[in-house]
Amino acid sequence: MNVLITGGAGFIGSHLAERCLQEGWSVSALDDLSTGSFENVRHLKAHPGFSYTIDTVFNEPLVAELVDCCDIVFHLAAAVGVRLIVDSPVRTIETNVHGTEVVLSATAKKKKRIVIASTSEVYGKSVKVPFSEDDDLVMGPTSKGRWSYACSKALDEFLGLAYYHEKHVPVTIVRLFNTVGPRQTGRYGMVMPNFVQQALLHEPITVYGDGSQRRCFGYVRDAVEALVRTAKTEAVAGQILNIGNDQETTIAGLAHLVRARLRSRSEIVRVPYEQVYGPGFEDMFRRVPSLAKLERLIGYRPTTSLETIIDAVAADMRPRVLKVPAAEITLPPQAYKTALPTHFSQPA
């Protein structure tokens, strides 16, 4: 199978590229390196099945050509991260809406399959637990920039499903919940890389708000396993799937776990939201995926524990953050054990 991954040099895209190559598929990655990085795919460069193009999804002739050469598109190119969304709302909306228009239109012309990455943000302020794919989406006002991300991705979903119903394009929407793991950068505000870096440096761990907000963290390798299985399943055309882990933690609890796990001397500090994101910022209190549909349709359920994820993130980050060669780092014994293998749960 030939696979096109838009956003292929990003955090999730690069893991997906790796996993598709393992499957024996050819991978073409398209990335403008805006939030992605060539470092994420450098190790794949020599692989005979891997090719990459540094350009944007707005380049219509190029996208048409790349789509023509593939059997399935994973459309992951998007503006991501709360920091980026708050700082650059124009870029967020344009990338997410226009980029998806270009990719979907090219995919429709060539009648190819496409998996569009959406986000758990689309559930917005809904207080339902857990979130199921057919639930109502509860958005905040347009005067609050954060919601532009959720709305732009919701529009992507509408467009994708419209192509499915009206033009019979095999479109699948995947809503990725908080996905974390090696290579994720803290530059755009994501909590896991921020906490791990702070703990490794014994700097204060910054909990925004009172820390009682909850999230479920899914391991990136579980998420890409779910994506690969989605690509192998015909029955997902026209469907929306939640992808994530349903084990919940509070953000304060995560801070304590990261500190303990990494044997850090960091203090844990609370930072008011206004100080980080400006006045009137609205955070989501709870966000738990229902994984029933994912399990039913593709026979897979992510299960990697938070402890294993923290160890893997720390093992990846240590050489860069501590600026010493990996070989010179002494890890605590339990980190050796848990950082090495990737744990995929197998369907029963």
Give the residue with the Cβ less far from ligand UDP, 174 or 191.
191
**Count of chain residues binding ligand UDP (CB under 6 A):** 13
Give the residue with the Cβ less far from ligand UDP, 160 or 193.
193
78 counts as binding ligand UDP under rule CB under 6 A: no
Query: Taking the complex as a whole, how short is the minimal distance between the CB of residue 149 and ligand UDP, in angstroms?
Result: 9
Annotated catalytic residue 123: no
Q: Rule CB under 6 A: which of 96-155 touch ligand UDP?
A: none
Q: At what angle do helices 306-322 and 191-200 cross, to 10 degrees?
A: 60
Query: Taking the complex as a whole, how short is the minimal distance between the CB of residue 82 and ligand UDP, in angstroms?
Result: 4
Torsion of CA 36, 172, 23, 21, to 10 degrees: -20
Give the residue with the Cβ less far from ligand UDP, 211 or 238.
211
Q: Rule CB under 6 A: which of 149-208 touch ligand UDP?
A: 178, 189-191, 194, 206-208
Give the residue with the Cβ less far from ligand UDP, 34 or 250.
250
Query: Taking the complex as a whole, how short is the minimal distance between the CB of residue 263 and ligand UDP, in angstroms?
Result: 20
Q: Tell which one of 215, 221, 259, 261 touches ligand UDP (CB under 6 A).
A: 215
Which of 149, 164, 188, 300 is flagged as catalytic? 149
Give the residue with the Cβ less far from ligand UDP, 158 or 285.
285
82 counts as binding ligand UDP under rule CB under 6 A: yes
Contacts of 204 (CB under 8 A, 6+ apart): 198, 266, 267, 268, 269
Three-state secondary structure readout of the chain? CEEEEECCCCHHHHHHHHHHHHCCCEEEEEECCCCCCHHHCHHHCCCCCEEEEECCCCCHHHHHHHHHCCCEEEECCCCCCHHHHHHCHHHHHHHHHHHHHHHHHHHHHCCCEEEEEEEHHHHECCCCCCECCCCCCECCCCCCCHHHHHHHHHHHHHHHHHHHHHHCCCEEEEEECCEECCCCCCCCCCHHHHHHHHHHCCCCEEEECCCCCEEECEEHHHHHHHHHHHHCCHHHCCCEEEECCCCEEEHHHHHHHHHHHCCCCCCEEEECHHHHHCCCCCCCCCCCECCHHHHHHHCCCCCCCHHHHHHHHHHHHHHHHHCCCHHHCCCCHHHHHHHCCCCCCCCC
305 counts as binding ligand UDP under rule CB under 6 A: no
Q: Tell which one of 251, 294, 309, 313 touches ligand UDP (CB under 6 A).
A: 251
Query: Taking the complex as a whole, how short is the minimal distance between the CB of residue 213 and ligand UDP, in angstroms?
Result: 4
> Is the peptide bond preceding residue 48 cis, with omega within 30 degrees of 0?
no
Query: Taking the complex as a whole, how short is the minimal distance between the CB of residue 178 and ligand UDP, in angstroms?
Result: 5
Residues labelled catalytic: 149
- Interface positions with ligand UDP (CB under 6 A): 82, 178, 189-191, 194, 206-208, 213, 215, 251, 283
